[in-house]
Amino acid sequence: MVLTIDIGNTNIKLGVFDGDRLVFTSRLSTDRERTSDQYASDLLSVFSLHNADLDKFDSAIISSVVPEITNAVRDAIRLVCGIDALNLESGVKTGLKVRTDGNTVIGADLIAESVGAVGNYPLPCFIADLGTATKILLIDGSGCFCGCTISAGVKISLDALAQKTSLLSSIRLRTPSTAIGKNTEDCMLIGTVLGTADMLDGLMNRIESEFGEPITTCIATGGLSKAIIGNCKRKMVFDPDLTLKGLKIIADKNK
């Protein structure tokens, strides 16, 4: 079995593959203060919950945008599974072609989800990743990463409204019933939820026009994407496990 772990700024998502089958996924909170022993305890609890046989793990791979805890998680995997996890960094074989400025460093999460898209969907494609940040990735017909956009994430925007204004409080993320706000909560939801959906549509239209070819597939991933994509005009394929699928492909390439 292969253990895949994606360490994000808000959550750590893990998935266990048996062959090409994703057996289960789980989420942990990203906590920069936790030790390797504490993360090992979390892993043991997750594996016990899903009746995972620790002796069957033969490889593990990590993508991380939080370098402060990468080693703690790697040590935890070693303690629990007895294997050294591959860290997705420079020098790891991914099979992904990249067309960006020569000195640009692409985040491990973007590489993993790009590989997942190339390996599972018709190209060219957009990937809309709605997590802590909102990102749009463009993959061309040959499977090459052509670039992306990055903007403030949905939750960051809502939290900023609540924290930086005296009269706007925190609200639950949902689709508003109207585009004309009559109360404070609806006004915030319209600006955030519908505004993000329209931003995705608008940026994708602009990128597609500049790219010069029609985009075959639009994939949505990330923890907040499901609340947004139903309001987009473009048809979106929801794949919450895209990054884990990409990590599995990369793990196989590096065995």
The one catalytic residue among 18, 53, 55, 109: 109
Helical (H) or strand (E) element with 17: strand 11-18
For domain 2-87, give the fold. Answer: Nucleotidyltransferase; domain 5 (3.30.420)
User: Does 166 score more than 70 pLDDT?
Assistant: no
7 close to 62: Cβ distance less than 8 angstroms: yes
- Look at residue 1 in the predicted model and tell me its pLDDT: 96
Two tokens at 64?
A: 């991380």
Across 13-17, 122-126, 185-189, least confident range: 185-189
17 close to 248: Cβ distance less than 8 angstroms: yes
117 close to 135: Cβ distance less than 8 angstroms: no
User: Does 227 score more than 90 pLDDT?
Assistant: no
226-250 b/e (C-beta count within 10 Å ≥ 16 → b): ebbbebbebebbebebbbbbbbbbb
Query: What is the end-to-end Cα distance of the chain in Å, rounded?
Result: 12
Average confidence (pLDDT) over 1-8: 96
Whether the CA torsion 116, 117, 121, 127 is positive or negative: it is: positive
24 close to 48: Cβ distance less than 8 angstroms: no
Kindly indicate the confidence band of residue 172, based on its pLDDT and cuts at 50, 70 and 90: confident
- Look at residue 163 in the predicted model and tell me its pLDDT: 80
- Look at residue 188 in the predicted model and tell me its pLDDT: 85
- Per-domain boundaries in the chain: 2-87, 97-245
For domain 97-245, give the fold. Answer: Nucleotidyltransferase; domain 5 (3.30.420)
109 belongs to the catalytic site: yes
- Look at residue 167 in the predicted model and tell me its pLDDT: 58
Kindly indicate the confidence band of residue 103, based on its pLDDT and cuts at 50, 70 and 90: low
Average confidence (pLDDT) over 9-19: 95
137 close to 106: Cβ distance less than 8 angstroms: no
Give Cα 26 to chain centroid, integer Å: 14
DSSP 231: T
User: Does 218 score more than 90 pLDDT?
Assistant: yes
Condensed to tens digits (0 to 9), the pLDDT of residues 112-149 reads: 999 999 999 999 999 999 988 999 999 999 999 999 99
Same topology for domains 2-87 and 97-245, yes or no?
Answer: yes
| Rounded percentage of the chain residues whose pLDDT exceeds 90 | 78
Task: Tell which phi-psi region holds residue 86, choosing left (phi > 0), alpha (psi between -120 and 50) or beta.
Answer: beta
